[in-house]
Structure 1
Amino acid sequence: MANNYEDSHRQDDINHCPSLEGLQILVVDDNEDSLVLTTFILESYGVQVTTATSALEALELIKNCRFDILIFDIAMPKVDGYSLIRKVRQMLTLQKQHTPAIALTALTSEDSYNLAFLSGFQGYIHKPVEASVLITEITKLLGFSQEGNGE
């Protein structure tokens, strides 16, 4: 019974959600389970997802492809999400591009939240990711990037 209830609410979410069909989103996470879950959620909304498991892999993808939104895990080995978004912001500024970015993290402190925004993220989502929260954040950022005024 719970699955039917969840399925009907999921369908309501899709019906009330602006179309995400064809969006290109890069998801970077060193945790395979989290990467699979996030990808599954996004693909169920028609998003074309590219994945990377490290910051270095992500930087290479960003050099060669354009994405509508970036979603980066914060706690990754070698290069964390804060450092990655700073590098991406420098790279995209040189290319005169701005791509909205969401921090995806298990960190819940106010310091982590503040550092994410100071580093260059426009959104912040806690793990484990919930579909409704992720989709709401994406549509908010799309409205932000399309309007250009932050509202």
Structure 2
Amino acid sequence: MSNESMFFKGLRLLVVDDDPDTRTLLTFLFELDGAEIVTAASASEALEVMSFFKPDILISDICLPDEDGYSLLRKVRNLEAGRGRKIPAIALTASVSDEDRIHALVAGFQIYLSKPIDLEKLTCVVADLAGLKQYA
């Protein structure tokens, strides 16, 4: 069990969601597996975090209070392009239409997941984006 509990050791995740319960749940989920998590409640807070925290993966809600997840991703992509990086990004949203999914993927998110969040699917997606062996 101890090997399993450190599956995400060294992985750095930035979770952006205006819902405190979602931030707490995802922090708990990934910290249990050894990841380092920083959370933000808004796009502006996330961009501030990016000044001192270099995440391996961005997990962001689309509907944020100050600006949406699409705008956040554009700003993150511009910031990271200057550093020669491209952070994989996962969109979380309550919007579940095909049109919304396509919009998120065209905007640059690698993965689109609807809420309520399927935690097992999310951990598998994070493992895949991080290039880790399949999460069991």
Which TM-score band (shorter chain)?
0.7 to 0.9
- The residue that corresponds to 1:3 in the other structure is none
User: Higher helix fraction: Structure 1 or Structure 2?
Assistant: 1
| Equivalent residue number for residue 80 of structure 1 | 68
- Are 1:69 and 1:99, in contact at CA under 8 Å, matched by a contact in 2? yes
In structure 2, what residue type is equivalent to 1:75? C
Structure 2 segments unaligned to the other structure (5+ residues): none
Q: Which has the larger radius of gyration?
A: 1
Q: Structure 1 CA distance, aligned partners of 2:6 and 2:124?
A: 10
Structure 1: which 4+ aligned runs deviate by more than 4 Å? Answer: none
Number of positions where the alignment pairs a residue of Structure 1 with one of Structure 2 = 131
Tell me which of 32, 44, 50 is aligned to 2:32: 44
Aligned twin of 1:147: none
2:6–2:33 Cα contact (<8 Å) kept: no
Percent of residue pairs identical: 42
Q: Is the 8 A contact 2:6 2:34 kept in 1?
A: no
When the two structures are superposed, what TM-score results if normalisation uses the length of structure 2?
Answer: 0.87
> Conserved in 2, the CA contact under 8 Å of 1:24 and 1:49?
yes
Q: TM-score, normalised by structure 1?
A: 0.79
1:1-151 equivalences under 5 Å are: 15=4, 19-143=7-131
